[in-house]
Structure 1
Amino acid sequence: MTQRRRPHLMVVFLPIGFVIIGVVVWLGIRGKHDPGAAQVHADFARVLAALEVYRAEHRSIPEEGDLSFLVPKYLPTLPQDPWGHPYAYASDGQRPFLQSYGQDGVRGGNGPNQDHTNHDGHGVLAPR
């Protein structure tokens, strides 16, 4: 009787390792498709900080309109997204919603046309 050899663990796990590395690389490349995203979220942080100061002085923030109520006391100028569009703003009086519609300026899209909000995982002004 001949003895059967078991395949080495490396033969079994090596292809799985390549798949995992491929997925990680793909996700890393996919996440870098929008160079304007960093600027958008930096602007959101500045606007949210200004809104916090405004709210501390006025006990609430406006519910709709543009952000002109922040200029010049809370912000020196109104920021625009990296593609030259104004940020969309809405609020329930306590929680602001900021949005950029991406490079094309139209709701929805992928890559550089992707929409960004302050509620997509980046600094959110907490309700009071």
Structure 2
Amino acid sequence: MNAPRERNAAWDGPRARNSARALLLVGVALLAGMGCNSEDPRLPGNLYEEARKMNLEGRGMEARSLMRQLIERYPGTEAAQQAQRDLFLIEAFVNRDVADRQKQVRASLKRVVDALTRYRGKRGEYPSELKNLVPDYLDRIPETPWGHPFLYRPYVLRPIEEIPVKRGPVRQKFNTKFDGYYLASLGIDLLPGGEGLAADLLVKDGQPWGEPTFPPIPQPQPTR
């Protein structure tokens, strides 16, 4: 499996510090609600400003999450009312961004599938690793738009082949060629399941796989 060459940019440098600061503000708000009567009245406004800043920096999903927490925690405040008005537009932009990035993932998957098909057409089987597609079939090791690797598992579709003979019992032999594969993007969270950018996209032998998990690989797989 190919390791990603870069970390997710959304968590690097200043953005990581900003996200940590936002989480700290939320934590302060939650602690304040657990029995402290001297809660700072400026806190809802600070949360709103932090969320608004995130949105201006292009971090719409983080802004949406923070505004939802603000609305739930401080429903009667002016900051929560403003967040409710802003949330409609933020939701629209986030949904459009999710759709655009999902389209990019599907396009990237298609390029990998096409390269795998060409590789097998020339060599008679699929590669053992995606890095073997470079440089003849792809310019670089494929990855998702946010820098995560695609998960790839080649396998032998028919490990045991039957050889018909004119006389006597049918003979069998092991097939060692990779004639099947699983290819997957597990979304931005790199975990099975999820929705939006965390949704999985699965491909089996060049075709989209509609089930949530792949079927078992045929056994026994020959040793290579």
TM-score (norm 1): 0.60
Equivalents in 2 of 1:52, 1:43: separation in Å?
Answer: 14
Pairing 1:84–2:147 present: yes
- Amino acid aligned to 1:59: G
The match for 1:44 among 109, 113, 128 is: 109
Name the residue aligned to 1:106.
191
Name the residue aligned to 1:55.
120
1:95–1:34: structure 2 CA closer, same or farther, 3 Å change rule?
farther
Larger radius of gyration: 2
- Amino acid aligned to 1:68: K
Between structures 1 and 2, the one with greater helix share? 2
Paired residue total:
90
Structure having greater relative contact order (Cα 8 Å, sep ≥ 6)? 1
Equivalents in 1 of 2:98, 2:185: separation in Å?
Answer: 13
Q: Unaligned regions of 5+ residues in structure 1, if any?
A: 1-28, 122-128
Name the residue aligned to 1:94.
179
> 1:9-48 counterparts in 2 under 5 A?
34-35=98-99, 36-48=101-113
TM-score (norm 2): 0.36
- Amino acid aligned to 2:141: L
Pairing 1:68–2:68 present: no
Name segments (4+ residues, structure 1) moved above 6 Å. Answer: none
- Amino acid aligned to 2:179: Q
CA positional deviation for 1:117: 1.4
Q: Unaligned regions of 5+ residues in structure 2, if any?
A: 1-91, 156-177, 211-224
